[in-house]
Amino acid sequence: MLGIIGGTGLAEPNQFGWGALERQENVETPFGVGCTTSVSVEHWHAGSEKVLFLPRHGFKHSLPPHRINYRANIWALKHLGVTQIIAVNAVGGITSTLKPGTFVVPDQLIDYTSDREMTFFDGLSENVNHVDFTEPYTESLRALILRAARDVNSKNDRPVSIVSKGCYACTQGPRLETVAEIARLAADGCDIVGMTGMPEASLAREAELDYACFAFVVNLAAGVGSGSIKFQEVYEEVNKCRTFIAETLGRCVA
C-alpha cells in the first residue's frame, strides 16, 4: 500500500480530487519525547486502491520541521501496512535553473540537520544495526513519480519543468538560510534545499520501506535570487503547484 507524506501546503488531500476519505485515525506510537506520540493518518480510497495520507506538520500545520516526530510518522505508516512512501516537499532552488514552479525528483541528499531523533536503532535492541544508504531514494518509486508527472504534463496546456535528478540539502530550520550557507550547499553539490527530508528518508530505509521525494521549488534559495525571500510569494507558488502535485499523485496511486 502507498503512503503519502504531505508537507507545506499539502495538508488536505480532499483538494486532490482523488476519491473518498474513508476515515481519519489517530495512531498511538512508542515514540514521543517532548512531542506527541500519536499520529493522525487519513485512509483514502482512490479508484480501486487504498492510500494513506499523513501531513507531516500535522493537520493544522502546527509542527515546525525540527519538532516533527519523524519516527512516529514512519512507524505509524509501517504499522498500518504501508510499503511505499511518496514524500512531498516544498524546497528552495539552489541551482539557478531550478526556478519556482519546477518539480524535482532528487536522487541524492545531504543531511545538515542536528538534534533530531533520527534512528530506530538507538541502542535498545540487542545488535547495533546499520543500513545501507548509498542510494537514499528507491529507484523504482522515483521512476513511478517521474512517469506519472510526465503523463500529467503531456496533457497540460502549460507544461511544467520536471527534473529527474538532484541533490536535496536538508537544513535544520525553522529559519531560512544565509547567502553564505547556500553558497556552501552549492559548493557541496546540492541543488535544492528543504527542512523536512531528513531523517524521514533514512528512517524509511531503516523500516525497510520504499521511499522517494517529490519536491517542488517554491522560491530561489537565499542569494540565488535578489533580495530577501518573500513568504507571500512562497505561498502563492505552493498554491500554483498544488494541482500538478495532486494530479501526479493521483496517477501514482491508480
209 vs 234 by CB, closer to ligand HPA: 234
Contacting range for ligand HPA; rule: CB under 6 A; set: 40-48, 112-120, 138-146, 192-200: 192-200
Contacting range for ligand HPA; rule: CB under 6 A; set: 18-26, 29-37, 56-64, 189-197: 189-197
Contacting range for ligand HPA; rule: CB under 6 A; set: 19-27, 87-95, 124-132, 202-210: 87-95
Question: Taking the complex as a whole, how short is the minimal distance between the CB of residue 84 and ligand HPA, in angstroms?
Answer: 24
Place of cell 548509498: 134
Task: Sketch the per residue contact string, 90 through 109, with ligand HPA: x for CB under 6 A, - otherwise.
Answer: xxx-----------------
Q: Which residues contact 95 (CB under 8 A, 6 or more apart)?
A: 166, 186, 191, 192
In whole angstroms, give the CA distance from residue 104 to residue 126. Answer: 39
Q: Is 218 in the site for ligand HPA (CB under 6 A)?
A: yes
Q: For residue 122, with 0-12 CB atoms within 10 Å meaning exposed, 13-18 middle and 19 or more buried, which class applies?
A: exposed
Q: Is 204 in the site for ligand HPA (CB under 6 A)?
A: no
- SS3 percent helix, strand, coil of the chain, rounded to 5, is 30, 25, 45
Supply φ then ψ for residue 252, to 5 degrees.
Answer: -65, -35
**Residue of 11, 51, 54, 221 that binds ligand HPA (CB under 6 A):** 221
Query: Which residue is at the shortest CB distance from ligand HPA?
Result: 92
**Residue of 95, 102, 219, 248 that binds ligand HPA (CB under 6 A):** 219
Q: Is the distance from CB of 216 to CB of 240 less than 8 angstroms?
A: no
In whole angstroms, give the CA distance from residue 102 to residue 89. Answer: 12
Q: Is 176 in the site for ligand HPA (CB under 6 A)?
A: yes
39 vs 195 by CB, closer to ligand HPA: 195
**Residue of 73, 84, 138, 171 that binds ligand HPA (CB under 6 A):** 171
52 vs 90 by CB, closer to ligand HPA: 90
Q: How is residue 146 written as a grid cell?
A: 517521474
Ranges assigned E (strand) in the chain: 2-6, 20-28, 38-46, 49-55, 84-93, 103-104, 108-111, 162-163, 167-170, 192-194, 210-220
98 vs 203 by CB, closer to ligand HPA: 98
8-state DSSP, 160: P
**Residue of 6, 194, 199, 250 that binds ligand HPA (CB under 6 A):** 194
SS3 33: coil
Question: Taking the complex as a whole, how short is the minimal distance between the CB of residue 166 and ligand HPA, in angstroms?
Answer: 14
Q: Is 84 in the site for ligand HPA (CB under 6 A)?
A: no
Q: Is 245 in the site for ligand HPA (CB under 6 A)?
A: no
* Residues counted in the chain: 254
- Positions that interact with ligand HPA (CB under 6 A): 90-92, 171, 176-177, 193-195, 218-219, 221
